[in-house]
A and B are shown apart, each in its own frame.
Chain A
Amino acid sequence: AQKVTQAQTEISVVEKEDVTLDCVYETRDTTYYLFWYKQPPSGELVFLIRRNSFDEQNEISGRYSWNFQKSTSSFNFTITASQVVDSAVYFCALPRSNDYKLSFGAGTTVTVRA
């Protein structure tokens, strides 16, 4: 069975602070991908990043970076120097390899205060 757990319900920070979002997953697939989505107050789902299980090298893209550790089944996401526009709900998601059904975590609400 697929399962995604985001233990943090809400995070509140002051602008320019870093924010790290935790994601722990369970899957029976031997190879898989993980996604992060952003849902701003307007409600749409915005794709942010995907990562495959082949490569545990951490990456940085602009103010976003992620830390993927297969040994602990974690896929954490960091926003560096947060801005008010980063205020949103962030979802971690895991697709199943046979039918591509996406399993979502419950989401973490990030509030960045000016």
Chain B
Amino acid sequence: NAGVTQTPKFRILKIGQSMTLQCAQDMNHNYMYWYRQDPGMGLKLIYYSVGAGITDKGEVPNGYNVSRSTTEDFPLRLELAAPSQTSVYFCASRMAGGSSGYGYTFGSGTRLTVV
């Protein structure tokens, strides 16, 4: 199994450009999450989804959009990129149900720089 796959791994954007960060999982997990990690900081939740067609905002949603048309894919869209969006982005997934102790699978991250 591939687990959680994020593409691209690295990207440099110019201010005002747009892009989509891709996240795909092959574990049939219902729950998917997007986090950002700024230098020297912990991970902050941007958006999450509890299943296909259902998404909700996390702590830091401004400047981002998501969609969840299939169970497997959870792309994160950046519109009008700003330097403040320079960060490392992690996608994660987990199965539905079970206790909160069930494990999460993280992607390897996308390092985005906005110049």
Interface residues, chain A, with chain B CB atoms under 8 Å away: 4, 6, 9, 29, 31-33, 43-45, 47, 50, 52, 91, 95-97, 99-107, 109
Interface centre among A96, A103, A109, by most chain B C-beta atoms within 10 angstroms, is A103
A43–B101 touching, CB < 8 Å: no
B100–A106 touching, CB < 8 Å: no
A102–B92 touching, CB < 8 Å: yes
Chain B residues with Cβ under 8 A from A43's Cβ?
88, 108-109, 111
Query: Which residues of chain B from 32 to 68 have a CB within 8 Å of any chain A CB?
Result: 33, 35, 40-45, 48, 50, 58
A96–B100 touching, CB < 8 Å: yes
Interface centre among A44, A45, A106, by most chain B C-beta atoms within 10 angstroms, is A45
Q: Which residue of B lies closest to A106 (CB)?
A: B42
What are 26 A-B contacts defined by CB distance under 8 Å?
A: A4-B42, A33-B99, A43-B109, A44-B106, A44-B108, A45-B106, A47-B103, A52-B101, A91-B42, A91-B43, A95-B104, A96-B100, A97-B100, A99-B31, A99-B50, A100-B94, A101-B33, A101-B45, A101-B48, A102-B33, A102-B35, A103-B45, A104-B42, A105-B42, A106-B42, A107-B41
Q: Is B74 an interface residue (CB 8 A)?
A: no
Chain A residues with Cβ under 8 A from B44's Cβ?
104
A95-B42 contact in complex given A44-B108, A45-B90, C-beta closer than 8 Å: no
Q: How far is the CA of A78 from the CA of B107 in the complex (A)?
A: 26
Q: How far is the CA of A45 from the CA of B31 in the complex (A)?
A: 18
B103–A50 touching, CB < 8 Å: yes
B41–A106 touching, CB < 8 Å: yes
7 nearest A-B pairs in the assembled complex, by CB-CB distance: A33-B101, A104-B42, A95-B100, A104-B43, A106-B42, A45-B106, A97-B100
Q: Which residue of A lies closest to B43 (CB)?
A: A104
A100-B43 contact in complex given A44-B109, A50-B101, C-beta closer than 8 Å: no
